[in-house]
């Protein structure tokens, strides 16, 4: 779960709420992918995907699971390993 902007009710145009899913994961993974690409400019797309999965934090059940997928992206590990 991450805190995200959302439409408010009544007189409020915007507020914040908790959200989850690919809409919340995609911006985080994209940002880390950009950091990795800057650190390792020669990395291929396939190697980048493998690197992100390898350096992710395994959450929930060990390995791939329906809730956490392949893990939670770890920006520090992705750019230092």
Residue 48 forms part of a structural domain: yes
Domain count, the chain: 1
pLDDT (0 to 100) of residue 12:
66
- State how far the Cα of 74 lies from the Cα of 45, in Å rounded to an integer: 18
Residue 20 forms part of a structural domain: no
Q: For residue 77, give the 3-state DSSP assignment.
A: helix
Residue 19 forms part of a structural domain: no
pLDDT (0 to 100) of residue 10:
67
Domain extent at residue 69: 25-80
Residue 67 forms part of a structural domain: yes
Residue 49 forms part of a structural domain: yes
Q: For residue 24, give the 3-state DSSP assignment.
A: helix
Residue 36 forms part of a structural domain: yes
- Residue entry with tokens 């991450």: 2
> Quick one: CA torsion of 3, 32, 77, 66, rounded to 10 degrees?
60
Residue 72 forms part of a structural domain: yes
- State how far the Cα of 16 lies from the Cα of 24, in Å rounded to an integer: 13
- Give the pair of three-digit tokens for residue 16: 């914040």
As a whole number, mean pLDDT of residues 56-73 equals 88
pLDDT (0 to 100) of residue 51:
97
Residue 44 forms part of a structural domain: yes
pLDDT (0 to 100) of residue 11:
64
Range of weakest confidence among 21-25, 40-44, 52-56, 75-79 = 21-25
Q: What are the counts of helices (DSSP H) followed by strands (DSSP E) for the chain?
A: 3, 2
């Amino acid at each position: 779960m991450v805190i995200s902007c959302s439409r408010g009710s009544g007189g409020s145009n915007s507020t914040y709420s908790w959200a989850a899913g690919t809409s919340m994961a995609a911006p985080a993974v994209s940002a880390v992918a950009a950091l990795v690409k800057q650190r390792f400019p020669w990395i291929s797309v396939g190697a980048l995907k493998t690197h992100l999965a390898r350096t992710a934090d395994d959450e929930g059940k060990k390995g791939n699971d329906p809730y956490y997928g392949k893990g939670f992206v770890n920006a520090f590990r992705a750019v230092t390993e």
